[in-house]
Structure 1
């Protein structure tokens, strides 16, 4: 079975973009990558080898000088009689004479060891230090080193651990020194040299204006200050078998050699720009290639503009109009790539379908909202039915025909209003008539225990409001607030308010009952149905839901407790 390859149109935007991208960028990127990577690697290796050999040579010279000084100390310890006399003298005169002879001997010997700053002999029992230094060591430094040296040697003398058997590092007054100590009885023979002194010959090495040669401790801490180490990303604790790059931007090359005689290493830190500055031909080539790439940019932009940006701009222009609500706009036909032709045709077809669907969805949404509103209103109707029948039965038992007639007439008016309350709106006057009729029924149920008061401007009675809006809260007040101990007073006041750009109708419903509990107020604020030991109460939630459907965010219901008692309901409806 033959495999059929997909057919690719020469007018395809994918083919154009991929071909253009490869033709413009791939050769340049490949050439840049190859030249830079290869050249930098070659230069790094050559510079590393050259500086590694140089560092190893200087490190060998330093080790040779330290080894010679160490042999001199060992020779004094094993062959010089004055050392033995100074360690265990027969008397004070012998001690002073031996000390004088050693001073003379060391003063002559130190002239042959220019890399060593000082030799010393310390008798820790007598706390007597003989310190002979080079003339280059200033007096202040000498005194500071002697003071620290006495403390250090005293600690070595009382320490149960054996002292170091090679050259080691000690920091004295913010300067690093390399020390060698040899214990001989009660004496310590030794030598010290400042790290800067050992590093002196390295000043002859040309590492560039920003390069630096460093002596570092075994932990990678520089013993001589340098600006290069201010970069927090510099790591000098690596292995020195081969070079490595360090620094926050990996722009510093490090080569080094560890000392065979001491706990330190000699390293060279060379910035990349110092290494690569000897590549004029490659730099020139890169410059010409950069200019060539810059020259290709306008051509690339023109190419992309014609095949991609112009069609996209047309599409975006149409989409912006649709975003503003103009769903009847369509894409015009243009000579463009195959993909955009397909997009334009599909887009126009899709917009026609969306326009048709939008009309259908809008009509369906209106029907759904109307059905939901009617369902919410009808939830209230059965609530009053059983109490009304029970009240008529009781009046019939006592044969109070006059009240039966009045009660029956009130119930007829009540249920007539309820059966037409599936309307979305009624006039305020009709709602108030229904509320007064409802209150009269409750007054007949609780004679002498219920009073009411209504206040409404005449010009507001013609406005449209949702039905059963006020009665729901009055019913709630009677249900929870009426008692046989004290009469319950209800008041309803309506007024037109204006606190901003839009006026609104304010409906205040108050009672003198016990008010809302904290739990109920919290549930009302959250918009939840109220559930207690008596079951689920949906009256207030019902009103909130209806107002949300009819007015969205333009209407609100606030519930709180009045002073000194009673519940207060504040309803705000948009006016006009």
Structure 2
């Protein structure tokens, strides 16, 4: 083949060159779109999952910090107002010292049961080199001696400093175990507490972080306090700051999301395998390679056809591309008799569009998953005022030595929190929700003796009806907060029945109280369907219920607010009846 023939065959005006360029021009945009959608969807999914786990870490760390704050308050209160501690501190003789020591041992032994995370309390008197520990569970002699050495060394190293102050938690490593230690000083006596970092990980045992994923506590220097095998297995790097998420790992990537503690120099970190986040998205990259290979194979074969084998299929492809460009991602190329190469191109095109559609569905499903996780977080919110009031009641009962009422209160609180932490279901049976509400009333009756009564009326045939958890108790709690006073008794009634709405049976729940009712400005806002929730967390309970009902039922559930005659607040909730949990 001479030079003239080569120029003619491969000239820019030849049909061969035009066909090759035409196929390339048509194919490249599809590959670009697919690659763009692959990268974009990967980033979107990873960001959404990172935000979801970040919110989860914030929630759990907040619970941990609140627990440490409660322990701190207890220790400060003991040192400030407890007469046994003051007497122990001021003891002069050996007899008086050891007698007061026994009293403090009994007190701390009784009080340690209020804090599920504590390993041990201790009192240390440096002048006598005397250490008293109240420990939950058993420990070895070697562990006892190691802890004693750490306490003595910590006190001696900071004897002249102001290190021992409220809220100052330290991280200590003994052998291969990390502990959170908190010491307060009063005169020449030190009151402290030990908490094993492993004990704070118990709430994460049922949390799904994907295969080989998990959660752990780490120091601010990036050293794992728990779950070191997760970090060492794939050489995951832990950073000091946890403001932003990042990917790390040697053999496989992990999404690292964390939250710093406000009470001590440690972080809560979640390690989520990247493949769990992306699920089936990695297959899209293989499809991109297959599509590119198919396009390269179809180029030389496409040059053997003219109108029916080349131009017509190209026109069909161009028409489909125009429809896609206009936003119609349902566009497909209809099957027709043509060369095998264009059949491959057409099938590949349709396959790519199906994958793009599937990818959009996957992104939508991820959004639904995020919505479900939001529902879980809403259900796990705990009213801090109720928690503090309950602890205050227990404290007052302890002061007067009313052990029987303390047992009743403690049992009610155990049932209350057991229900709270199992209410991460979308629905529970009505009988369980009403039993939880009755248990809540028992707690409040101990707080407001002779000032609060209630009655609950529900047909037995509705006992197994499924309802969202904590809906009834939230409004009862709101009524107790705003209606109950010590001036006159308050009565709260709950009436449950079935009504028909739009031809379908619905559950109606009416909650009334005999208090002053809603203020006019508050009632007006509620009747307009607007949120009363503020940045300080006021009215968060009403907003919580409204939000959860919207997530579960869309617009099928309704809440109405009114004032009764002559007084009192009335809340009526109507929701569809669910038959399954």
**Which gives a bigger RCO, structure 1 or 2 (Cα 8 Å, sep 6+)?**
2
Larger radius of gyration: 1
Could you say which TM-score interval applies, normalised by the shorter chain?
Answer: 0.3 to 0.5
